[in-house]
């Protein structure tokens, strides 16, 4: 996308996407971890988002598709794919050489799984791990089942595929 757009035009598209994405993540009780290029990382901590954190993560992903223009009459802001997974992570400060740079980071196998799901998602779809589906308490049986191969994970990984406009929107 950046290759075929003027830098200012691309920056405007990214700004509009960030504004839409951060509004959804804030409204659905996510912690916004990163805004990097065309990527937004939101974390749904049980302590921060409550007991229904998995439900909020699935609903937030669905809402992110909608506000980005998927399944609507509007053209999508950016070509996005989303991954939703549930698991354990280290969340804390990591330091560079001799304390020169500090960053708050989420690290671990489950964080990597989520990133891999995002990269495997086709444009305009959400890949939701079976663990996140089960924990959400939502009826997601109508969603397509898919097995994906993920770098750093042995064997196929089961997901449900949410995409507009063919899926029904969930109330969260």
The pLDDT tens digits for 75-84 are: 888 889 999 9
Alpha helices in 28-52 (DSSP H): 46-49
CA distance 9 to 4: 10
Tokens 């921060």 — which residue?
A: 48
* Fold of the domain spanning 2-162: Alpha-Beta Plaits (3.30.70)
Q: Is the pLDDT of residue 170 over 60?
A: no
Q: How far is CA 170 from the centre of its chain?
A: 17
DSSP strands (E only) in the chain:
31-36, 39-43, 82-84, 90-95, 102-107, 126-129, 144-149, 156-162
Q: Which two three-digit tokens encode residue 56?
A: 């909020």
Query: Of 168, 114, 112, whose CA–CA distance to 140 is shortest?
Result: 168
* Mean pLDDT across 71-76: 82
Average pLDDT, the chain: 90
CA distance 146 to 155: 13
Break the chain into its structural domains and give their ranges.
Answer: 2-162
Read off the DSSP letter of residue 167.
S
CA distance 22 to 42: 9
Q: Is the pLDDT of residue 167 over 50?
A: no
Does the pTM surpass 0.85? The reply is yes
The confidence score (pLDDT) of residue 95 equals 87
């Amino acid at each position: 996308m950046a290759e075929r757009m003027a830098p200012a035009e691309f920056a405007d598209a990214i700004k509009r996407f960030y504004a839409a994405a951060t509004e959804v993540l804030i409204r659905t009780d996510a912690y916004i971890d990163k805004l990097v290029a065309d990527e937004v990382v939101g974390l749904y901590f049980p302590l921060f988002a409550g007991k229904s954190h998995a439900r909020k993560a699935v609903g937030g992903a669905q809402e992110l598709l909608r506000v980005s223009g998927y399944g609507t009459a509007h053209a999508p802001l950016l070509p996005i794919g989303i991954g939703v997974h549930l698991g354990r992570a280290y969340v804390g400060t990591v330091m560079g050489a001799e304390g020169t740079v500090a960053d708050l980071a989420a690290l671990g196998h489950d964080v990597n799984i989520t990133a891999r799901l995002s990269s495997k998602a086709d444009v305009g779809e959400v890949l939701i791990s079976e663990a996140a589906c089960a924990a959400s308490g939502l009826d997601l049986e109508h969603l397509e089942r898919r097995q994906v191969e993920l770098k750093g994970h042995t064997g196929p990984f089961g997901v449900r595929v949410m995409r507009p406009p063919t899926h029904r929107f969930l109330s969260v």
